[in-house]
Chain A
């Protein structure tokens, strides 16, 4: 099925689910409000955003050096570093590490990079049992669904959905729709898994080059358990997550939870600095970090799109997107939904497969306003639109440039441009439209499904201005 058609079908399906839309609207409105309450002073917020942006920009300005330094410091700390250019390489590296340790069961903390490379499916094919330990991820793993939000993966499910799912998978548990009881059940199930797992896999929020420290924030303690209880811990992250200094961390940790969930700080802030030492009683005996490129170097090479890599994956752009709140994450059909997905996925996967995402944006700018690192998301979306129908456009390495060019659409714009670049022709058009206003169509495709058709006025402003004697010079 062509991507456009599939996208339209997913959108139709999402819009038809009124209950899910109501739930999502209530949640997003609440999240926006909670964020706002964390930043009562707009000027302070702007200062914080500017500071966070500068820190992330510094990373991108010195990315190769910082990655080298990070590798050196991590190695000194006893953390083994692996480089993966592609998703396949990353998966096979992780599998090799697990095989060497004879690990058969894995508990996972939440990681969007692992979603990006479809790691669970890969490992399961190799006969490894993977258990998602973040409650939201645990739920969608049971449902065999991808996440619908980058920090709240099961946001599309309500208590009843989860109750049914748990009842189906754990028939021994009494049926309940009580959220606390459901959470307690998941907790009990997961505790046993933590205790018996051979390995833990996690993501990374920030990797500090100066000290070789991996910082991981979370609210459920599952991240800490995944990274400390099993004997083997494998962390995986994108190469852009490095930051230069330890002192860069507090400003980022200040803004990330506030902007993401409206929390002052996450319940857990994990600073992972190496495997268990001889005099220590707990912690993993082996720690690995897999650094994934997966087109990030291409994005980094583009003056136009490099800003994409400042992202700290807070999800704020998604929470503020008026399109996301209508259709939810699954409509996008991509790993990353919402504004950041609309910018990242066409670059990561190519315009041919993902370029259509850019059509689902009114360029309202709410995302850029909410972004803690000031990524100009609407400008980037607009630029991707230009790339998707013009093979020659720009200097980026985005694949599939021009692949969505539609001949009749291109012809329409040519005609439009021809008319509007010639005042005399435009004047004829305006005069005719206003004189023949009674002939204006009352049906205009999708527009009049929800609205009446606009009608030309009896006279144009050009005429009124002339009649009223406004200066024409």
Chain B
């Protein structure tokens, strides 16, 4: 795909309320590349929480509102593997036989997870202005398996000269978030995040970065409860902080 003039940005509901700096950083990165970023103010959520809980009618109403935010035939960039995956792979199923089915197909065909868009479409070049730091990358299950974006985040971090990557054991294993799974099966989810945080701590990394705030809320919340490092940060915020000279 050629570099587009305009893109839509879907900030996701989790980022909107809990991690807005990650969303803003994502938009700033795109804007710095000379792209006009459109953030429709009517956006709320992609419907994923209800869809994954088996409430598809409820998910559809919410998804329909979001679909109506993106009428133009331009790419949609999402700073989350799981929300991008919902729109790209599950909306076509959710909207099957719905009047908007074709509009959904058009949108899902040009929906990108942020790191994927930065590498594959923009071929972004980054200059690291930050201090030396050791990071562990946690790629969310949806970014890895639905969006195939595991390589994208690695490539971006590889461009940063002062950043040393650490590899955690069972890197590709789920952190235990899974949306309402973490509430419905709290103890299994708790056991999973215990393993995940142990593997991350074992690397000695200063920071865990990820494309998904769901994982960061889970992993970061568990580390905070345990009272230990590493800290956690969304990839967009991490990249913006390390490459922006004026902030």
Q: Which residues of A contact B (CB under 8 A)?
A: 11-12, 15, 21, 25, 29, 322-323, 326-327, 358-366, 368-369, 379, 382, 384-390, 393, 409-410, 413-414, 416-417, 420-423, 426, 430, 433-434, 445-457, 459-466, 468, 470-473
Contacts and interface: CB of A to CB of B under 8 A. Distances in A.
Contact of B218 (A359, A451, A463, A472): A451
23 contacts: A362-B177, A365-B141, A365-B142, A369-B145, A385-B53, A417-B55, A417-B57, A417-B62, A423-B42, A446-B183, A448-B225, A450-B189, A450-B193, A450-B221, A451-B218, A451-B221, A451-B224, A454-B18, A454-B217, A462-B11, A465-B27, A465-B39, A471-B38
A85 to B, nearest CB: 30
A403 to B, nearest CB: 12
Contact of B191 (A15, A426, A468): A15
Given A322-B192, A364-B141, A421-B61, A382 B52 contact: yes
Contacts of B31: 470
B17 A457 contact: yes
B44 A420 contact: yes
A468 B247 CA distance: 14
Given A360-B188, A366-B141, A462-B11, 12 more contacts: A323-B188, A327-B188, A362-B182, A364-B173, A364-B178, A366-B173, A385-B54, A386-B55, A420-B47, A446-B190, A464-B21, A471-B36
A29 B17 CA distance: 37
A423 B65 contact: yes
Given A15-B188, A322-B174, A461 B16 contact: yes
Chain B interface size range:
35 or more
Most chain-B Cβ atoms within 10 A of its Cβ — which of A360, A387, A455, A470? Answer: A470
Nearest to A444: B183
B76 interface: no
A456 B181 CA distance: 21
A421 B49 contact: no
Contact of A451 (B36, B55, B184, B225): B225
Interface string B28-68: 10010000111111111101011111111111011011000
B49 A426 contact: no
A351 to B, nearest CB: 11
Contacts of A368: 145
B187 A470 contact: no
Nearest to B216: A454
A11 B54 contact: no
B186 A445 contact: yes
Given A362-B141, A366-B174, A450-B194, A455 B187 contact: no
Nearest to A451: B221
Q: Which 8 A-B pairs have the closest CB atoms?
A: A446-B186, A362-B178, A451-B221, A385-B54, A364-B174, A417-B58, A450-B190, A461-B20
Contacts of B42: 423
B206 interface: no
- Majority secondary structure, B binding face: helix
A414 B57 CA distance: 9
A432 B179 CA distance: 23
B225 A413 contact: no
Given A423-B41, A454-B221, A417 B178 contact: no
Contact of B55 (A359, A389, A446, A463): A389
B58 A464 contact: no
A471 B39 contact: yes
Contacts of B20: 457, 459-461, 463-464
A390 B19 CA distance: 34
Contacts of B187: 11-12, 15, 446, 449
B14 to A, nearest CB: 9
B222 interface: yes
Contacts of B21: 457, 464
A128 B186 CA distance: 45
A463 B173 CA distance: 35
B175 to A, nearest CB: 9
Contacts of A426: 44
A25 B198 CA distance: 14
A363 B16 contact: no
Contacts of B15: 461
B122 interface: no
Given A446-B190, A451-B218, A362 B50 contact: no
B181 A413 contact: no
Most chain-B Cβ atoms within 10 A of its Cβ — which of A21, A360, A461, A465? Answer: A461
Nearest to B12: A461
Contacts of A388: 54
A361 B177 CA distance: 10
Contacts of B17: 430, 433-434, 456-457, 460
A358 B21 CA distance: 35
Most chain-B Cβ atoms within 10 A of its Cβ — which of A450, A454, A456, A466? Answer: A450
A125 B146 CA distance: 50
Nearest to A463: B20
A461 B145 contact: no
Given A416-B58, A450-B194, A464 B53 contact: no
A404 B95 CA distance: 24
B13 interface: yes
B45 A420 contact: yes
